[in-house]
Structures are given as structure tokens and as C-alpha cells.
Amino acid sequence: MNARKALLRCVLTLAVAANVLTGFALDGVQQVLLRVGTGTVVVACAAALFLLRARRRP
């Protein structure tokens, strides 16, 4: 389970970095398409990490 979380965190970090860097490197339609793609990956990874979190019981 920890390996899956580590992989999701790495993919999340890389997708956020790619999303930020596309603003500097690209323009127009290419920038929009890459930002939508990386944004989708970010949301999916964040949701997966949220669902895989350890739940605490009182």
C-alpha cells in the first residue's frame, strides 16, 4: 500500500510541475491541452490519495 501511495505522490508532484512549466514553455492551444491533461492527472491522483488515506477510529 505504501508503494502505491509513493507512486501517486510522485505522479502528483510531476503533474503539478508540468502544469506550472507549460505556462513558460508553450503558447495557445498546446498550452491549454497540456494543462487540461495535467490538471486531470492532478485531480485523479489527489482523489486516489484521499481515498487511500488511513482512517482513524476514536
pLDDT digits (tens, 9 = 90+) for 5-37: 999 999 999 999 999 998 888 889 999 999 999
CA–CA dist 34, 32 (Å, integer): 6
Domain membership of residue 38 (yes or no) is yes
Range of the domain at 9: 2-51
Domain membership of residue 57 (yes or no) is no
Domain membership of residue 28 (yes or no) is yes
Look up the pTM and report it: 0.83
Structural domain total, the chain: 1
Average pLDDT over residues 41-54: 93
What angle is formed at CA 32 by the lines to CA 26 and CA 34, rounded to 5 degrees?
75
pLDDT at 45 over 80: yes
Q: In which band, very low, low, confident or very high, does the pLDDT at 1 lie, cut at 50, 70 and 90?
A: low
3-class DSSP assignment, residue 56: coil
Element (H, E) at 55: none
